[in-house]
Amino acid sequence: MSVTKYIVHESPVGRTSSNYLAMVNLEPYGFAGSLEQIWLRPLDGNGYEVSCIPFRVYGLALNDVVRLDSEGKQIIEVLRPSGHRVFRVFLAPSLSVSESYEMRNSITRAIIDDALKSEWSGDRHVAIDVPLGREVGRVWPAIEHVAAEEKVYWEWGDVEPFHQ
């Protein structure tokens, strides 16, 4: 019997009192048996606006407008991209506790200095919102030296289009 793994957002950057939750099946992105819970803001008329920074799903970013399935439980289409991008960093399990702590603090400081929004999934994975026209100016130098040593891994969340 397989168990579904849920990727959740404990502190979504766009949390409000009227958010809505929907799922994205992560199997098309290489995560069989996994679903990511995405926070949404209902819009007047048609669609929902993404209110969190996706951790695993590709082609989806903060403030994108999406359409749900007929049951209202799963995101099936991006209606209007926001122009935002997601920069993801994963701290390798090979890092010691102190190295991981130091790296997490360094990344967090860089995110704050760049005035960017972010969400952490556990202690080792961060998704960073990069609005249109912005860059990860201080974040990249904070991880570049350890990325070359494969102590952190990074990616852009739009290397693949959204698909279900």
Domain boundaries, the chain: 5-80, 85-156
pLDDT, tens digit (0-9, with 9 covering 90-100), for 110-162: 999 999 999 999 999 999 999 999 999 999 999 998 888 899 999 999 999 99
pLDDT, tens digit (0-9, with 9 covering 90-100), for 66-75: 999 999 999 9
Burial class (CB in 10 A: 0-12, 13-18, 19+), 124: middle
- Provide the mean pLDDT of the chain: 94
Which amino acid, residue 19?
Answer: N
Q: What is the pLDDT of residue 1?
A: 60
- For the chain, the C-alpha Rg in angstroms (whole number) is 16
pLDDT, tens digit (0-9, with 9 covering 90-100), for 58-94: 999 999 999 999 999 999 999 999 999 999 999 999 9
What are the Cα distances from residue 98, in Å, to 82, 103, 106, 143, 145?
A: 37, 8, 12, 16, 17
Q: What is the pLDDT of residue 39?
A: 97
- Residue 27 CB coordination number (10 Å): 12
Q: What is the pLDDT of residue 44?
A: 86
Tokens of 91: 């701290």
23: pLDDT strictly greater than 90: yes
| Dist. CA 26–CA 30, nearest whole Å | 7
- Is domain 85-156 given the CATH code 3.40.50 in the classification? no
2 — pLDDT class (breaks 50, 70, 90): confident
- Structural contact between residues 86 and 54, judged by C-beta atoms closer than 8 angstroms: yes
